């Protein structure tokens, strides 16, 4: 069936014939931030889109409906488990139905070229095959339940620095073999019904205006017939965008279409047939959404089913990678007293920042998870803080009436106007307020808000308070100004790069006393700060935080003292959504200030301390030679703390593998000299040598290799056999669990030419993988199928085609890119060239 046929109930040819030009154009932009336009007279409903990729926000950043939050993309990548990821997609489909969503904006399948990409945590892997296969099954979980999946961002949105305009200069070969391949595999597997374009340029042209990529590759070569939408505010012209192949400009109302597009059609800059093609794609998506049973403009509900909590906990534990376990320190004994130390212990680092951020149903901290799993006393020492911004204050406030949270009131007049009229009042708990989609029928272009709550400190001391704003704000404690962020504002990374840095102030507070916290805020139009951007995220934002000031030297000493007298110690450290977020890249692989010193000194005091790290992308570990046990837990979603506890206490045997190479130093990474925009361009100078392809080819030993991950049991791999049937190569081996407990192993199949190829090729490339759970003493014959033509192909630039060159290839089976256990050769008798999926 093609998109020209009559799918489901909507007669697309008939509707298309009856539409006026004005109506056609209206369908090519959203009607608001999250919905497409409708044509009621012809029975064309509006459909709802929502972020993805790790959960369904619904239709609001501000005061959004709570949602299920999956572990971040790299955590899902670490599972190497296509079935589990498909179940994750099915959960997202159920969440979409609960929130009236027809189109999920995910998965993110860009490639982590290097460790510093601010949004790297959203994607699955540095490897295109792992990324594409997992993305395909993620999309299947959505699509088989009637919800449209939207793989993004097509293509090369692999860093955040100047992402709206940066020109990614990449060879055609690298573009095909590394960056387009995940989309190619996902489309081949699942036929997702939508694709989102990226903000950036590729080789001189914005992707959202690129007929070569959208029409040439997606539609003509791959024969894909779905809906192409822009990223939010990711269109840059009228005629070029429509002619380039973008069907739907988001969000709405459109900036580049509307009357401008009508004028372009009437001026013969855009053909009517081109407009019809774009409208047909939108109508086809709408028709499919109609059949999903999700109503138009449905109410947003919370799901939060027991089975969903179980799956989320399974995902969290199944994604945790055991990096080291010398002397079998892990698993710990839940009947023995345990000391918990560290900045990530009592906070829930459950997701990254930016559009991936969700208001979760719950967010279980590691401390809560360990406390719930332990049958003995749990001690705690903070050690250091790891926040970039002061911790959110909202959950620590009470309303004047004593309710948990704070009051927020909105007005059209500033606080200086006597007896100003309040538009509305809400009680909120989250003090990171992004008003990007806030609506009120009486709201004027310039408007204001007031926050009111009471704060009762638990300890005497100096307390720091902070304000990040897109707009202006001032924070008062008992009527005295403590922080003012109004004049001489400094640009920062807050609010997707549209806000200020955090301005701070301090005051001395007494334990047990109640203090009044008031904040006067003005929308973005009240600020003189203007940042050059192609994106206007609109109305403004307010983030307020605070905590007791900590002396890191003294706090580290207290942590060391606790560790030295404790038999079991767990230290939680890492990054968070403040450090890894949309809109900015990291500047280093370092952990937050004083963290490495804390870890090192605690390890000196107790060498059996278990280190649990959290981040979405690689971090440096200068203390690694001291540590006996290290578990990397990513951002684990709603059930983060429970998932970690399950692994630490042995309820779950760790079975995850690193989907990213962890380099020893940043300068060892192949993107070290080309990791940000310079003069408006970024050179993908590593070409196809991304991640382990570079480390293995150059003989550079990483800290932890791609595919690395330990277990509480031991596996043996033997008896490699290759059997060929046409172009299908069956790679089989015997996998045995020779250890004491049940567990899972991931068999990874790599390939490498044994001759001198037409072009230089990486030392090895992942082509297939399989995960198998075995009981203690159990053994199975494991078969992995490989399409030999595709697995041996490279992109032949001169001829613009894939080429499988005749010759002998080494088939390598192992458990990581640097741990190949078995090898055999297979011969490709003749050279084959091909295009398409």
CA-angle at 372, arms to 369 and 377, nearest 5°: 110
Strands 807-816 and 819-828: antiparallel
- 362 SS3 class: coil
Structure tokens at 526: 């009240």
Q: What are phi and psi of 568, to 5 degrees?
A: -115, 125
Q: What angle do helix axes 128-143 and 82-98 make, rounded to 10 degrees?
A: 40
Q: Is the C-alpha dihedral spanning 423, 427, 433, 436 positive or negative?
A: negative
Q: Which of 263, 214, 265 is nearest to 235 (CA)?
A: 214
Q: Which residues contact 61 (CB under 8 A, 6 or more apart)?
A: 434, 435, 436, 437
Buried b / exposed e along 254-285 (16+ C-beta atoms within 10 A):
bbbbbeebbebbeeeebeeeebebbbbbbbbb
Distance CA 747, CA 771 (A): 6
What does the DSSP assignment read for 809-835? EEEEEEEETTEEEEEEEEEE-S-EEE-
Q: Using alpha carbons, list the distances in angstroms from residue 392 to 507, 543, 578, 662.
A: 17, 8, 11, 31
**Token digits for 387?**
């926040």
Beta bridge partners of 30: 36
Write the DSSP symbol of residue 64.
P
- Identify whether the C-beta of residue 837 lies closer than 8 Å to the C-beta of residue 188: yes
What are the C-alpha distances in Å from 451 to residues 186, 426, 468, 472?
A: 46, 10, 14, 13
Rounded to whole angstroms, the Cα distance separating 448 from 527 reads: 12
Residue 533 main-chain phi, psi, to 5 deg: -160, 150
Closest CA to 433 of 525, 517, 523: 523
Residue 407 to residue 398: CA distance in whole angstroms:
9
Cα(first)–Cα(last) distance of the chain, in Å? Answer: 18
Edge to edge, the sheet with strand 49-51 lists: 49-51, 103-105, 148-149
**Residue where the block lists tokens 């095959």:** 129
- Which residue, 451, 459, 453, is CA-closest to 516? 453
One-letter-per-residue 3-state SS of 562-578: HHHCCCEEEEEEECCCC
3-state class (DSSP) for residue 710: strand
Exactly one of 51, 81, 158, 231 is catalytic; name it.
231
* CB environment 443-460: b (16+ within 10 A), e (fewer): beeebbbbbbbbbebeee
Q: Which two tokens stand for residue 119?
A: 């949004």
Three state DSSP letters for 538-601: CCCEEEEEEEECCCHHHHHHHHHHHHHCCCEEEEEEECCCCCCECCECCCCCCCCCCHHHHHHH
Euclidean distance between CA atoms 124 and 85, whole angstroms? 11
Instruction: State residue 265 phi and psi, 5-degree precision.
Output: -65, -45
**Could you tell me the two tokens for 397?**
């406030």
- Of 662, 571, 657, give the one whose Cα is nearest residue 621: 662
373 vs 370: CA distance, rounded Å: 5
Q: Among this protein's residues, is 379 annotated catalytic?
A: no
Catalogue the active-site residues.
231
């Amino acid at each position: 069936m093609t998109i020209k046929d009559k799918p489901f109930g909507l007669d697309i040819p008939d509707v298309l014939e009856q539409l006026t030009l004005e109506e056609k154009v209206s369908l090519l932009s959203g009607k608001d931030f999250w919905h497409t336009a409708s044509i009621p007279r012809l029975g064309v409903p509006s459909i709802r889109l929502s972020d993805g990729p790790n959960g369904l926000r619904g239709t609001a950043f501000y005061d959004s409906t709570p949602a299920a939050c999956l572990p971040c993309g790299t955590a899902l990548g670490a599972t190497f488990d296509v079935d589990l990821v498909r179940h994750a997609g099915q959960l997202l489909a159920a969440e979409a139905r609960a929130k009236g969503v027809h189109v999920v904006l995910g998965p993110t399948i860009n490639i982590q070229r290097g460790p510093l990409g601010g949004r790297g945590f959203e994607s699955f892997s540095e490897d295109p095959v792992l990324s594409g296969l997992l993305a395909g099954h993620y999309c299947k979980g959505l699509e088989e339940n009637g919800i449209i999946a939207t793989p993004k961002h097509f293509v090369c949105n692999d860093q955040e620095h100047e992402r709206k305009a940066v020109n990614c200069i990449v060879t055609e070969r690298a573009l095909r073999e590394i960056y387009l391949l995940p989309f190619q595999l996902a489309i081949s597997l699942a036929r997702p019904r939508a694709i989102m374009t990226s903000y950036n340029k590729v080789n001189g042209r914005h992707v959202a205006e690129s007929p070569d990529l959208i029409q040439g590759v997606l539609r003509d070569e791959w024969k894909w017939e779905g809906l192409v939408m822009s990223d939010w505010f990711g269109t840059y012209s009228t005629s070029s965008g429509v002619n380039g192949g973008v069907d739907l400009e988001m969000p709405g109302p459109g900036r580049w279409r509307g009357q401008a597009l009508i004028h372009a059609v009437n001026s013969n800059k855009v053909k009517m047939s081109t407009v019809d093609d774009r409208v047909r794609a939108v109508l086809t998506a709408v028709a499919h959404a109609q059949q999903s049973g999700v109503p138009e403009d449905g109410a947003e509900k919370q799901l939060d089913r027991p089975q969903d909590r179980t799956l989320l906990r399974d995902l969290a534990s199944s994604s945790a990678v055991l990096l080291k376990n010398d002397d079998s320190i892990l698993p710990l004994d839940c009947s023995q007293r345990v000391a918990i130390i560290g900045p990530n212990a009592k906070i829930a680092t459950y997701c990254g920042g930016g559009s991936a951020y969700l208001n979760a149903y719950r967010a279980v901290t590691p401390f809560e998870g360990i406390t719930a799993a332990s049958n003995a006393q749990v001690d705690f020492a903070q050690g250091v803080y790891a926040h970039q911004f002061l911790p959110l204050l909202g959950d620590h406030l009470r309303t004047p009436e004593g309710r948990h949270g704070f009051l927020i009131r909105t007005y059209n007049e500033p606080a200086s106007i006597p007896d100003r009229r309040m538009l509305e009042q809400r009680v909120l708990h989250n003090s990171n307020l992004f008003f990007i989609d806030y609506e009120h029928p009486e709201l004027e272009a310039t408007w204001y808000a007031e926050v009111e709550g009471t704060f009762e400190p638990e300890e005497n001391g100096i307390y720091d308070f902070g304000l990040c704003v897109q707009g202006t704000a001032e924070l008062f404690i008992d009527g005295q100004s403590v922080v003012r962020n109004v004049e001489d504002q400094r640009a920062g990374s807050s609010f997707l790069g549209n806000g200020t840095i955090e301005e701070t102030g301090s005051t001395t507070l007494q334990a047990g006393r109640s203090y009044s916290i008031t904040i006067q805020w003005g929308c973005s139009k009240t600020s003189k700060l203007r940042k050059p951007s192609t994106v206007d995220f609109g109305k403004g934002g307010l983030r307020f935080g605070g905590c007791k000031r900590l002396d890191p030297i003294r706090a580290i000493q207290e942590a060391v003292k606790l560790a030295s007298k404790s038999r079991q110690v767990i230290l939680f450290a890492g990054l968070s959504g403040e450090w890894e977020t949309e809109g900015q890249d990291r500047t280093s692989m370092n952990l937050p200030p004083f963290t490495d010193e804390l870890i090192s000194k605690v390890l000196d005091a107790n060498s059996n301390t278990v280190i649990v790290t959290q981040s979405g992308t690689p971090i440096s570990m200068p203390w690694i030679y001291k540590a006996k046990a290290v578990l990397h837990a990513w951002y684990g979603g709603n059930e983060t703390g429970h998932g970690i506890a399950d692994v630490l206490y042995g309820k779950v045997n760790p079975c995850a593998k690193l989907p990213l190479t962890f380099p020893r130093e940043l300068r060892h990474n192949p993107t070290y000299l080309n990791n940000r925009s310079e003069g408006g361009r970024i050179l993908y100078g590593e070409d196809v040598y991304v991640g382990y392809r570079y480390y293995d080819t150059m003989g550079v030993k990483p800290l932890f290799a791609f595919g690395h991950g330990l277990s509480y049991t031991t596996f043996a791999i033997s008896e490699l056999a290759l059997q060929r049937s046409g172009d299908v190569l069956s790679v089989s081996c015997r996998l045995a669990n020779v250890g004491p407990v049940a567990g899972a192993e991931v068999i990874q199949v790599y390939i490498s030419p044994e001759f001198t190829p037409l072009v230089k090729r990486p030392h090895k490339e992942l082509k297939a993988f399989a995960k198998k759970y075995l009981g203690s003493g159990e053994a199975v014959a494991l078969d992995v199928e490989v399409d030999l033509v595709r697995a041996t192909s490279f992109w032949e630039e001169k001829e613009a085609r894939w080429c499988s060159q005749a010759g002998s290839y080494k088939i390598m089976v192992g458990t990581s890119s640097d741990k190949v256990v078995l090898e055999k050769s297979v011969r490709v008798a003749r050279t084959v060239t091909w295009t398409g999926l």
